[in-house]
Amino acid sequence: GAGVSQSPSNKVTEKGKDVELRCDPISGHTALYWYRQSLGQGLEFLIYFQGNSAPDKSGLPSDRFSAERTGGSVSTLTIQRTQQEDSAVYLCASSRRGTGANVLTFGAGSRLTVL
Amino acid sequence: AQTVTQSQPEMSVQEAETVTLSCTYDTSESNYYLFWYKQPPSRQMILVIRQEAYKQQNATENRFSVNFQKAAKSFSLKISDSQLGDTAMYFCARPFGNEKLTFGTGTRLTIIP
């Protein structure tokens, strides 16, 4: 597609439920990133994919968080047994390759609210 | 440490004025890229400007320019003739390890009519 698409744009869930957030990157972009932005804060790196593999998962805050990418395209970020501190905007970005030189194109984000 | 520091949490200026946002960073590398991103209320992060460290000339994109001081590890963004549409969060960023773009905590800029 023309841009990075994320869904849902807003999600309200109850504590303890599982949620899935989806990211559809720009066609041909091999690198895909997930970031988390808490209210009024900067961006916290979660995970990076190159193709379908994730060489860097260092930012995932706990084992309740997981992500996968299939067909070198769509990625899903799953949060199990959500907690209130998981409330944030989850941003996805893609680029042609690693960020050394390439520009990241971001989606509009998925706002997660855990009650 | 892989840090990017923005020391101005909030700034405001009158429309048409010039404003400078500051950013400092850590690095042990000799060549790298630096970025400024803008996040308006719509939440969509947009690239403002990019600078390659080995280039001595400061990058410029229309009303946006940078003051890159490599020795001081400083990368400030200057916005000239500010417009209402410039109201946004501005984030300084640099890649570490070619894979992880690390962001500062941002500066909330408000342009006053």
Q: Which of A42, A56, A111 sits opposite B99 (nearest CB)?
A: A56
In this prediction, the residues of chain B whose per-residue pLDDT falls under 50 are none
Rounded to whole angstroms, the Cα distance separating B77 from A75 reads 33
Q: Which residues, numbered 32 to 71 in chain B, qualify as contacts with chain A under a Cβ-Cβ cut-off of 8 Å?
A: 32-33, 35, 37, 42-47, 50, 52
Q: Which residues of B touch A59 (CB under 8 A)?
A: 100
Cα–Cα distances in Å, from A57 out to B25, B34, B97? 23, 23, 13
Q: Would you call B27 an interface residue with chain A, using a CB distance cutoff of 8 Å?
A: no
Mind listing the pLDDT tens digit of every residue in chain A (115 residues)? 579 999 999 999 999 999 999 999 999 899 999 999 988 778 999 998 988 888 778 889 999 999 999 888 999 999 999 999 999 999 999 998 766 667 899 999 999 999 9
pLDDT at position B110 is 97
pLDDT tens string B76-105: 999 999 999 999 999 999 887 656 788 999
Predicted pLDDT of residue B10: 96
**CB proximity B30 to A under 8 Å:** no
- Partners of A32 in beta bridges: A49, A94
Q: What is the pLDDT of residue B2?
A: 65
Nearest chain B residue to A103, by CA: B47
SS3 for A15-65, per residue? CCCCEEEEEECCCCCCEEEEEEECCCCCEEEEEEEECCEEEECCCCCCCCE
Give the pLDDT of residue A100: 66
Top residue of A57, A95, A99 to mutate, by most chain B CBs within 10 Å, is A99
